Amino acid sequence: MGLEDKIRRVTPYTPGEQPKGAGIIKLNTNENPYPPSPMVREALEAAAAGGKTDELRLYPDPAASDLTCAIASAYGLSPEEVFVGVGSDDVLAMSFLTFFNSDIPILFPDITYSFYDVWAELFRIPYEQVPLDDNFEIRAEDYRRENGGIVIANPNAPTGALLRPEEIEEIVRSNPDSVVIVDEAYIDFGGISALPLIRKYENVVVVQTFSKSRSAAGLRIGWAMAGKKLIRYLSDVKYSFNSYTMNRPSIEIGTACVRDGAYFRECCAKIRATRERTAEELRGLGFAMRDSSANFLFVTHPEVPAETIFEELKARGIYVRWWNRPRIRNHLRITIGTDDEMRTLAAALGDILGKTV
C-alpha cells in the first residue's frame, strides 16, 4: 500500500467568496452589515491594557466559564445548560459526533445547510435527506419515523423558511428516542426560538451563533443550549479530545458582545425592516420569493437565469450566492446589507433586467 493510498482525499468545500477591495458590496455569506456592539471594542481595549496580555502565556479556561455564564444569563439559563464552541460549525459537528451515534440513519432536509451531510460522512453517520415540499417547506410529519437523530435548521437555509414553534415541538415530541438538533443560526431575524423546549423535553438541542445576529463572524463563537444531561455528554466528548479551543481574546470579547442585548435587538430590527423593503423592491422587479425569516432573501426570476444575474452582479462588484445544485440552481441567496447597499443592489438588478426601479 503506497503513501497516497493511506491519505484521505476529499473534494474541498468552496466557502462563499471573500472579495476584498473598495466599493465591493458583499451580500454572499450572511454576515451582519452592522459592526458588533461598542462593548466589543471596550473589551478589546481592556485585553490590550496593563499586564493583561501577559496572561496570553497561559492556557484559556477550558470551560470558557465567563462566556458560558454570560450566555446563560442572557437566556435565563444555568451555565450547565450551555456549551460553547468555535463557531456553530464546531458546536454542530460536536453535537453530531455526540448525539448521532447509532446505526440508524439520521434525518435532515435535502435542501439545507451544506455541512450536515459533510459531518455525517466525516463521522460515518448514516443519513437520509428528506425532500422539502415543492414550496421548499419542511413538513413536520416527514420526521415521524424511525431515525438515529434529526437536525433541522430553523429558519432553514438557504430558503429562509420558518417552522412554527408547534411544528418544531411536534418533531421533538414525536421522537423521544432521538436527539433533535434545532440549528437556529438565523432565528433572531424573525423566528420564535425552540429554547423553551429544552426544559420540557430531554431530547432537544438548540444551537445559535455569534456570526449573524451578534455581528461577530470574525470571533468564531457558537453555542448549544439543552438540558444538563445532554450538555454534559457533549462536554465529555469535546474534552475527551481537545481541551482548549476557545482562545482568551474570544472568551473576553464574546462575553462583552453577548451582554449588550439592547444593541443586538436594535440591529436585528434594522435588518428586518431593510429585508421587507428589499423584498418589496425585488418583487417589483419580477422576482419571486417566499417570505424570509432570516437575514437573506432566496429569490428566483421567471425570465432571467439565476446564474446570469449572479455573474452580472459580480461584474458590478456585488457578490451574492448561487449554487449549481439540483432544485435550487435557478435561485439566488441575497444577504440583507444596509439600506444603502440594498438600494445599490436593486438599481443594479433593475439595470440587469432592463427595468427601472
Q: Is 76 in the site for its own copies (CB under 8 A)?
A: no
Cα–Cα dist 71/50, whole Å:
27
- In sequence order, the 6+-apart residues with CB closer than 8 A to the CB of 344 are 25, 318
Contact region with its own copies (CB under 8 A), list: 69-77, 116-124, 130-138, 328-336: 116-124
C-alpha cell belonging to residue 266? 436594535
CA 8 to chain centre: 27
Q: Taking CB under 8 A as the criterion, which residues in 143-162 touch its own copies?
A: 148-149
Q: Is 219 in the site for its own copies (CB under 8 A)?
A: yes
Cα–Cα dist 33/261, whole Å:
17
Contact region with its own copies (CB under 8 A), list: 48-56, 164-172, 188-196, 280-288: 48-56
Residue 330 CB, nearest distance to its own copies (Å)?
25
The count of chain residues that interact with its own copies, using the rule CB under 8 A, is 89
Cα–Cα dist 6/29, whole Å:
35
Q: Among 91, 248, 313, 328, indicate the residue that binds its own copies (CB under 8 A).
A: 248
Q: Is 122 in the site for its own copies (CB under 8 A)?
A: yes
Q: Which of 3/262 has CB closer to its own copies? A: 3
Strands 204-209 and 222-226: antiparallel
Q: Is 200 in the site for its own copies (CB under 8 A)?
A: no
Q: Which of 35/305 has CB closer to its own copies? A: 35
Q: Is 11 in the site for its own copies (CB under 8 A)?
A: yes
What is the four-CA torsion angle of 134, 136, 137, 140, rounded to 10 degrees? Answer: 70
Q: Is 54 in the site for its own copies (CB under 8 A)?
A: yes
Q: Taking CB under 8 A as the criterion, which residues in 25-44 touch its own copies?
A: 26, 29, 31-36, 40-41, 44
Cα–Cα dist 342/41, whole Å:
27
Residue 343 CB, nearest distance to its own copies (Å)?
20
CA angle 180, 246, 251 (to 5 degrees): 105
Q: Is 23 in the site for its own copies (CB under 8 A)?
A: no
Cα–Cα dist 81/139, whole Å:
29
Q: Among 81, 89, 281, 341, indicate the residue that binds its own copies (CB under 8 A).
A: 89
C-alpha cell belonging to residue 61? 479556561
Cβ neighbours around 144 below 10 Å, total: 13
Q: Is 116 in the site for its own copies (CB under 8 A)?
A: no
Q: Among 66, 73, 79, 97, indicate the residue that binds its own copies (CB under 8 A).
A: 97
